[in-house]
Amino acid sequence: MAAGLLASPAAAASGSNQAGAAAATPRPAVSVSQTKASPSNSDECPTRVTFSSRIKVKAYGGKTKVVYRFLRGNGTKSAVKSFTLTGKGVKTVTVKESSTFKGGDLKGWEAVQVLAPRKVTSAKGYFRISCGDDWDGGKEVVNTGSVGARIWVDEGNCEATLIGRISSSSSRWVRYQWVVNGRVIDRDAVRVDGSRKVYHVIRPRESLRGWAALQIIDPVESSSNRAYFKIWCGDSSPKVSASVDAPANYEGTCPVTRSFTGTISASYGRGHVKYRWVRDGVPGSWESVYFGGHGYQSRSVSDSWSASASGTSRRSIEIYGGPSSGTVQGKVTCKVPTPDSKAWIQEGTSAKQVAAGCPAGSVTGTGSVYATGPIKVTVTWSLNGTVVKSEELDFASEGTKSSTFTGASDGLKAGTVRFGIVGGGSTTVNYDAVCAQANDKSADKTGA
Query: Is 286 within a domain?
Result: yes
β-pairing verdict for 415-421 and 375-383: antiparallel
| Number of Cα atoms under 13 Å in the Cβ half of residue 256 | 30
Give rounded-to-5 percent helix, strand, coil for the chain: 5, 60, 35
Share of the chain above pLDDT 90, in %: 48
Side chain identity, residue 62: G
Share of the chain above pLDDT 70, in %: 81
> 268 and 225, same structural domain?
no
C-alpha distance across the termini of the chain, in Å: 92
Does residue 364 contact residue 405 with C-beta atoms inside 8 Å? yes
β-pairing verdict for 360-371 and 343-345: antiparallel
> 253 and 212, same structural domain?
no
Q: Please write the tens of the pLDDT for every residue from 279-288.
A: 999 999 999 9
For the ranges 57-61, 127-131, 260-264, 442-446, the maximum mean pLDDT occurs at 260-264
Q: What is the mean pLDDT of the chain?
A: 83
pLDDT of residue 339: 65
Instruction: Please identify, among 184, 210, 231, the residue that sits at the C-terminal boundary of a domain.
Output: 231
pLDDT band for 363, please (50, 70, 90 cuts).
Answer: very high
pLDDT of residue 222: 85
Q: Quick one: which of 282, 175, 275 has its CA closest to 222?
A: 175
Does residue 285 contact residue 275 with C-beta atoms inside 8 Å? no
β-pairing verdict for 287-291 and 282-283: unpaired
> 65 and 31, same structural domain?
yes
Query: Is 444 within a domain?
Result: no
Q: Please write the tens of the pLDDT for every residue from 124-179.
A: 999 887 664 433 333 333 333 345 566 666 666 677 888 888 888 888 888 999 99
Q: What is the per-residue DSSP string for 98-136?
A: EEEE-S-EEEEEEEEEEEESS-EEPPPEEEEEE-STT--
> 92 and 53, same structural domain?
yes
Query: Is 382 within a domain?
Result: yes
Query: Is 362 within a domain?
Result: yes
pLDDT band for 384, please (50, 70, 90 cuts).
Answer: very high
Q: How many domains does the chain have?
A: 4
Q: Please write the tens of the pLDDT for every residue from 245-266.
A: 999 999 999 999 999 999 999 8
Helix or strand or coil: residue 437?
helix
Query: Is 291 within a domain?
Result: yes
> 390 and 360, same structural domain?
yes
Give the domain extent around 217.
142-231
Structure-model confidence comparison of residues 439 and 326, the more confident one: 326
> 407 and 317, same structural domain?
no
Give me the mean pLDDT over the 280-301 stretch.
Answer: 90
Distance CA 54, CA 352 (A): 106
Query: Is 448 within a domain?
Result: no
Structure-model confidence comparison of residues 43 and 203, the more confident one: 203
Q: Quick one: which of 330, 349, 333, 337 has its CA closest to 423?
A: 337
pLDDT band for 67, please (50, 70, 90 cuts).
Answer: very high
What CATH number is attached to the domain comprising 276?
2.60.40.10
> 298 and 254, same structural domain?
yes
- Residue 409 predicted with pLDDT over 70: yes
> 92 and 9, same structural domain?
yes
pLDDT of residue 145: 36
> 112 and 220, same structural domain?
no
pLDDT of residue 157: 67
> 108 and 7, same structural domain?
yes
Instruction: Please identify, among 170, 205, 231, the residue that sits at the C-terminal boundary of a domain.
Output: 231
> 432 and 357, same structural domain?
yes
Instruction: Please identify, among 231, 255, 284, the residue that sits at the C-terminal boundary of a domain.
Output: 231
Query: Is 315 within a domain?
Result: yes
